[in-house]
Structure 1
Amino acid sequence: MTLQEFFQSVPKAAVAFSGGADSAFLLWAAKEYGADVRAYYVRTAFQPAFELADARHLARELQVPVTVIEVDILAVPEAEKNGLKRCYYCKRALFSSLWEAARRDGYPVLLDGTNASDDAGDRPGMQALRELQVRSPLRECGITKDEVRRLSREAGIFTWDKPAYACLATRIPTGRAITRKDLERVEQAEERLSRLGFSDFRVRLEGEDARLQVTGEQMELAVQMRRGIAEALRDLFPSVLLDLEERQPSVQRRRKDNGQ
C-alpha cells in the first residue's frame, strides 16, 4: 500500500504532530493526497520550546490548521516516578488527550508518525498506541526513516534532516523522579550549547551534575570549548562532565544554516 492509497481509504484524520521529521512528512503527505487533516500538538514539560516553534512553522507552510493541547504530564504519577514503563504511561496519557480533542473536532481516525524503521519491541510507547487504536501510516506502508528523509527533502520540507530529538524526560536517569526544575535545567543547558555551535547532542543528569554527550564529529570542539561550556552552564550544574563515548549521530547530514 502507498501513502496515496492509504489516504484514499482514510480521507479524514487527525495527526499527532510533534514537529519532527516523521510527523512532518506524514502531515505533508496527508495534505498532498487530499485528506481533510488537522494537526494536534501536545505541549508538556517534556517538550522543549523549539519543537512547538517548528510545528507551527511547518503547519503554516502547509496551510494545515494546528491545535495545541496542554497536558500536565507530571500529574501522571507513573510518568513522574520515571520507572521502566514511563514511556507507556506518558504515551497513554498524551494520546488519550489527543483522541478526546480529535473526536470533539469530528475526526474519526488518529495518526502518528511511527515509521517502518522503528522497532516496536524496543519502544514501550507502542503498546499504548495499539491499545488506543492509533494508526501509523508510515509503518503500515513500509516507509523507513531514510525514505522519510529522502522524500521530505524532495518535497522541500525543512525538517528533512532534523536530528531525532527524544523528549526531555530521557535526560533523567530511570528511577529518579522527574521534577520541573530538572527538566528546565536540561532544556536551558541544551539551548545554551546550541548557541555555542553544538548540534545532535544530549545533556543528561548525573547526580546533580551534567553529562554532555556529543558525536565524534564534535568531540574535538567540546574539548576545545571546555572552559566556555563550563562557564555557560555554571549556574545550572555544579560540574559538567564530558562523556568520551561518542554519541551516534541521529542523521548523517545536517542542513546548512538557512535561517530556520
Structure 2
Amino acid sequence: MDLLEIKYENLKEYLRSLKSVAAAFSGGVDSTFLLKVAHDVLGDKAIAVTARSLSFPKRELDEATTFAFENSIQHMIVDSEELDIDGFSTNPTNRCYLCKTELFTKIKAIAQTKGIENVIEGSNSDDNGDYRPGLTAVAELGIKSPLREAGLTKAEIRQLSKRLGLPTWNKQSFACLSSRFPYGESITPDRLRMIDQAEQYLLDLGFHQVRVRFHGNLARIETDENGFNAMMDRQTRDKIYTRFKEIGFTYIAVDIRGYRTGSMNETLKK
C-alpha cells in the first residue's frame, strides 16, 4: 500500500470514529472530496451545510446544491452574511477569524438540532504554512479538520478526487470574494459584486484559475500560465478592458507573478 492509499484509509478511519458529521460545504475541491468520503463512510450520518452570502458567488452555491442532490446527501443552506458581522467590513487582518467564528457557530447549532456529534471542515495540510486566522476559530470552536489530520495535500486530494470520479478534481481553487481586498480596504456589497462580475467574465472567456484583486479603481488580475498565454491575444485584452470598464474599474492590470494563494498576506509584517 503506497503512502497516498495509507492517508486515504486513515481519513476514512478518522471519519468513522466521529460517528456523525455536519460538513461545512463550499463545493470546492477540498470540501467536496471530504463530504464525499464522509458520506461514503457514514451514510446519512453525514450532512452538508453551505453558507449563502455576497462573498459566495451564485455559481458556487448552485454547484454545491447540485452535487449534494445528485449524491443524495442532506444539504442545508444557512444565511451567513459576513458584512453584518461587527468590524468585518473594515477588513481587518483577522477578517477570516470573524467570519469563521460566525459561520461555524451557526453550523454547530444546526448540528446540535440534528443530533450530529461533530462539525468538520476542509482545510488541508498545505494550509498550515500560510497566515490562516480562520484556523484559530476552527480550533477554538472544536471543529474537526479530517484532511489535515490525514496529512493530505491539495495535490493528493485532487488525485484521490479524480480516482473517485468527482467533477471537482480539476476545479480551480477558490476563496471567498472578501479575500480579494487589501487589509484595511473597505468591503461593500457593490465592491463584492464588481469582483464577482469581473471574475465570472474571465471564467466565461475560458480562463481557468483567476483572481481579480480590488485596489480602488484598479483591478489586478492574477492568472495561471494558460491565462497569461490567453492575455497575449489583443482582442482578448480589449474585451477584458471593455467589460471591466463597464463593471466600474478605471485601470486593469495583470500581475506578472501570476496566480497565488494568499497574495494579500504579502503586505503583512513577518
TM-score by length of 2: 0.87
Give per-residue Cα distances to partners, 1:58-100, cap 9 Å, x unaligned.
1122210100000121011222110111111111111111111
Contact 2:210/2:222, CA 8 A, preserved across alignment: yes
Determine the C-alpha separation between the residues in 1 that align with 2:131 and 2:47.
29
Q: Which runs of 5+ in 2 are unaligned?
A: 1-8, 262-270
Q: Which moved more, 1:50-59 or 1:113-122?
A: 113-122
Q: Which runs of 5+ in 1 are unaligned?
A: 251-260
- Match of residue 192 from structure 2: 183
- Match of residue 258 from structure 2: 247
User: Secondary structure at the residue paired with 1:123?
Assistant: coil
Alignment partner of 1:23 is 2:31: yes
Q: CA RMSD in A?
A: 1.7
- Match of residue 215 from structure 1: 224
Q: Which moved more, 1:62-71 or 1:193-202?
A: 193-202
- Match of residue 107 from structure 1: 116
Contact 2:124/2:148, CA 8 A, preserved across alignment: yes
- Match of residue 140 from structure 2: 131
The Cα shift of 1:196 comes to: 1.6
Q: Describe how 1:77-96 pairs up with structure 2 within 5 A.
A: 77-96=86-105
2:105 maps to amino acid: S
Q: Give the aligned length.
A: 250
Alignment partner of 1:76 is 2:77: no
User: Secondary structure at the residue paired with 1:14?
Assistant: strand
The Cα shift of 1:14 comes to: 0.7
What is the aligned counterpart of 1:141 among 125, 150, 157? 150
Which structure features the higher share of helix residues?
2
- Match of residue 226 from structure 1: 237
Give per-residue Cα distances to partners, 1:28-73, cap 9 Å, x unaligned.
1111113411100011111111111111121122210100000121
TM-score by length of 1: 0.90
Q: Which moved more, 1:229-238 or 1:186-195?
A: 229-238
Determine the C-alpha separation between the residues in 2 that align with 1:232 and 1:159.
28
Contact 1:14/1:38, CA 8 A, preserved across alignment: yes
1:174 maps to amino acid: Y
- Match of residue 235 from structure 1: 246
- Match of residue 170 from structure 2: 161
2:217 maps to amino acid: E
- Match of residue 59 from structure 1: 68
What is the aligned counterpart of 1:11 among 13, 19, 34? 19
The Cα shift of 1:234 comes to: 2.1
User: Secondary structure at the residue paired with 2:125?
Assistant: coil
After superposition, the Cα gap between the structure-2 partners of 1:182 and 1:244, relative to the gap in structure 1 and judged at 3 Å, is: closer
The Cα shift of 1:117 comes to: 2.0
- Match of residue 265 from structure 2: none
After superposition, the Cα gap between the structure-2 partners of 1:82 and 1:249, relative to the gap in structure 1 and judged at 3 Å, is: closer
2:183 maps to amino acid: T
Determine the C-alpha separation between the residues in 1 that align with 2:185 and 2:112.
35
The Cα shift of 1:215 comes to: 1.9
- Match of residue 258 from structure 1: none
User: Secondary structure at the residue paired with 1:233?
Assistant: helix
The Cα shift of 1:142 comes to: 1.6
- Match of residue 49 from structure 1: 58
- Match of residue 257 from structure 1: none
Give per-residue Cα distances to partners, 1:142-172, cap 9 Å, x unaligned.
2221111111100001001111111101112
